[in-house]
Amino acid sequence: MSETNKSARSVGGKNNPTDEAEQERINALPPDLKLDYRGFSCGTLSEPVPSYIKADCETVEKGANNSWLVFGRDRPGPRTSGYGGRGDTQAGAIDIVVGRMGWKARSFGSPASVGKKGPKIWTDPDFTKDAARIYISQKTDVDSNFGLAKGKVGEVKSKSAIALKADGIRIVAREGIKLVTRTDRNNSQGGEVTSANGIDLLATNNDEELQPIPKGRNLTEALERLAEHISKLNGVVDSFIMYQDAFNKAVTHHTHYGPAKIIETPPVGFIWETTVSLPVQSSGIKTSIDLLSQDKRSLMSHKINLATYKKKYLSPEGKKYINSRYNNTT
């Protein structure tokens, strides 16, 4: 490799605004070397990469384009952070990172004078600014380290965890994906797993409106049963209308035959008290019996059925509760 080519591949990054002299040198290169520098066809590309503040316990593998693999102990920030910073044992960690400092990545700070490099930029792990990360730790406080809402599942403290963070995460399976909880009786620290935690889906990292996820088959069955109850109530109302209609017709078309008793009612004058209308009397008695024996009894049964329905489908203790007892979403 020529000295010119070596120079082209070792200079500061093209997008580093603090290194104008290096940029001028790149612009002065022959076209073929300049093309090589810019990294087309995944060729060699020099770009701003901050320097990593390495802890004594860490083994660091560094790629050419701000990609890192760090073997060490739990460390979410400075060397004093996490269980590694506390000096705990059984806190091994693997940190896979690309894009330290994210879009603000720089190799050097502002130079004191034109034509000179500024001071090196040094950085610790930054779970907020770094572009993408897979963090694996034997013992960590993963929720607080990543600023996650507590939710119904709660926070993991002093336990093993794996966290993935990036602008977008896709989990792709050709044959299926399972999210499974509570597979073992003991956790990684040897403690007994007593809680039955489920899965929280927290959009915008907000758990204020966290609700149980409905269970499809139970919800379908509950809606079908509710439709049946409504249909039965419709039948009760329909029979009531029929009984009432028959009575209304008897009242509407009734007449009285026979002598009338004249009653003096000052100051109005006189009224006539007629005899009882036998058809209306008969219809009224029948209507009362039908309403009490049919509709009233049906309504009492309907009320009991609704109470049973609510307990079975809408109560967390119900056999066919429509919501998941463990899994929640916003």
Rounded average pLDDT over 243-253: 67
Dihedral-angle region of residue 207 (phi above 0 means left; psi in -120 to 50 means alpha; beta otherwise) = alpha
Determine the average pLDDT of the residues in 296-302.
79
Question: ∠ CA(77), CA(80), CA(81), 5° rounding?
Answer: 45
Sequence-ordered list of residues with C-beta below 8 angstroms from that of 132, at least 6 positions apart, any chain: 97, 98, 99, 165, 166, 167
Highest-scoring range by mean pLDDT, 80-94, 106-120, 185-199: 80-94
Q: How many CA atoms lie within 13 A of 92 on its CB side?
A: 5
CA distance 314 to 330: 20
A 10 A CB-CB count for 23 gives 17
Residue 1: pLDDT over 90: no
Confidence (pLDDT) at 3: 40
**Taking the CB of residue 176, how many other CB atoms lie within 10 A of it?**
5
Q: How far apart are CA 27 and CA 21, in angstroms?
A: 10
Model confidence band, residue 11 (pLDDT cutoffs 50, 70, 90)? very low
What is d(CA 136, CA 151) in angstroms, rounded to the nearest whole number?
Answer: 22
Please report the pLDDT score of residue 259 as a whole number: 62
Tokens 């399976």 correspond to 173
- 251 vs 255: CA distance, rounded Å: 9
Give per-residue pLDDT as tens, 18-32: 456 666 776 777 776
Separation of alpha carbons 35 and 37, rounded Å: 5
Q: What b-and-e string marks burial along 122-148, b requiring 16 or more CB atoms within 10 Å of the CB?
A: ebbbebeebbbbebbbbbbbbbebbeb
pTM score:
0.71
Helix/strand/coil (H, E, C) string of 52-97? ECCCCCCEEEECCCCEEEEEEECCCCCCCCHHHHCCCCCCEEEEEE
239 burial via Cβ count (<10 Å: 0-12, 13-18, 19+): middle
Percent of the chain whose predicted confidence (pLDDT) is above 70? 76
Res. 252: pLDDT tops 70: no
Contact 37, 29 (CB under 8 A): yes
Number of H helices, E strands in the chain: 8, 12
Which amino acid is it at 313? Answer: Y
- Is residue 54 scored above 90 in pLDDT? yes
Q: How far apart (Å, rounded) are the C-alpha atoms in residues 46 and 177?
A: 39
Query: Is the Cα torsion angle 144, 150, 156, 162 positive or negative in sign?
Result: negative
The string of pLDDT tens digits covering residues 149-165 is: 999 999 999 999 999 99
The pLDDT value recorded for residue 60 is 98
272 membership: H or E segment, kind and range = strand 269-273
Residues forming a β-bridge with 214 = 323
Q: Measured at the alpha carbon of residue 65, what is the angle toward residues 118 and 43, in degrees to the nearest 5?
A: 115
Whether pLDDT at 16 is above 60: no
For 316, which DSSP code? T
Residues belonging to the chain: 330
